[in-house]
A and B are shown apart, each in its own frame.
Chain A
C-alpha cells in the first residue's frame, strides 16, 4: 500500500534555529498538506499545497513557516526561527483528489524545541 514518508522521525533543535521537515507524498497525489499535533491535543491544519502554490493556510501558519516542493517528489516544511511552542508532531499528508479518498497521512516528525 502506498505510503507518505516523513523524515526525520524525531528532530531536536534549539530555540531560534531553523528546521526543515521533509516529506515524500504518494507519487500520483496532487494535493499536499501539513498538520501538527501538540502532545495530547487534536490534529490541527497548517497548510495545503496544490499546483506549486499554497491553496489554503491556517492562522498558525505565519511568516515563520514556509513550504516548498523543490523537486518532483519532496514536500518540505520550514520553520525559520523555532519557538518552544512549536514543539509538536508534524504530519504530512497527500491526496489524489480534492475531498477524495486516499487522504493519507505520514507517520510524523516529532519536533522538540529546547
Chain B
C-alpha cells in the first residue's frame, strides 16, 4: 500500500516570507502528485500537480518539487499572504490509477 506523511503538523510564517511544506511518500511506484489547500468547512481545493516524469513545476506563486530518489515532495509558496492560511495536503496516486492517498496535512498560519 501507500502511506503519505507530512513533516510538520503546523507551520507559522510571517506575511511576505516564503513557505515550504514537505511531504514524504512510501511507494516508489507513485506517479502522480497533487497539493490541495483546505480551508475550514470546505473541501480540498486543487493547487498544483506534478507527474513522476518531472522534478519541478511552477504555478502562480507556487512551486512543487519532486525528489523521487528519496520519495519527497514539497510545496513552496512565495510571498505568503494571510489568505494562504489553511491546511495543506499532499495527495498521491500510484500505478496510473485514480485513487488518491492523502497525507495528514500541515496547518499553515500566516502572521501579520
Which residues on A are within 8 Å of B, measured CB to CB?
4, 6, 31, 33, 35, 41-45, 48, 50, 55-56, 58, 91, 93, 95, 98-99, 101-108
Contacts and interface: CB of A to CB of B under 8 A. Distances in A.
Contacts of B102: 42-44
Interface in B24-58: 31-32, 34, 36, 41-46, 49, 51
Given A98-B96, A103-B98, A104-B46, 9 more contacts: A33-B99, A41-B104, A44-B102, A48-B99, A99-B98, A102-B46, A105-B36, A105-B43, A107-B42
Contacts of A103: 34, 46, 49, 98, 100
A35 B38 CA distance: 14
Contact of A99 (B41, B43, B89, B96): B96
B43 A108 contact: yes
A104 B100 CA distance: 12
Contact of A91 (B43, B46, B101): B43
A111 to B, nearest CB: 14
A101 B58 CA distance: 15
Which of A44, A93, A103: most chain B Cβ within 10 A? A103
Which applies to chain A's interface (DSSP): helix, strand, loop or mixed?
strand
14 contacts: A33-B98, A35-B100, A42-B105, A43-B44, A43-B89, A55-B98, A56-B97, A56-B98, A99-B51, A99-B97, A101-B49, A103-B34, A105-B36, A108-B42
A15 B43 CA distance: 25
A98 B44 contact: no
A45 B41 CA distance: 19
B45 A105 contact: yes
B98 A42 contact: no
Which of B43, B51, B93, B104: most chain A Cβ within 10 A? B43
B42 A45 contact: no
Nearest to B43: A105
A33 B99 CA distance: 8
Given A42-B105, A43-B89, A99-B93, A48 B98 contact: yes
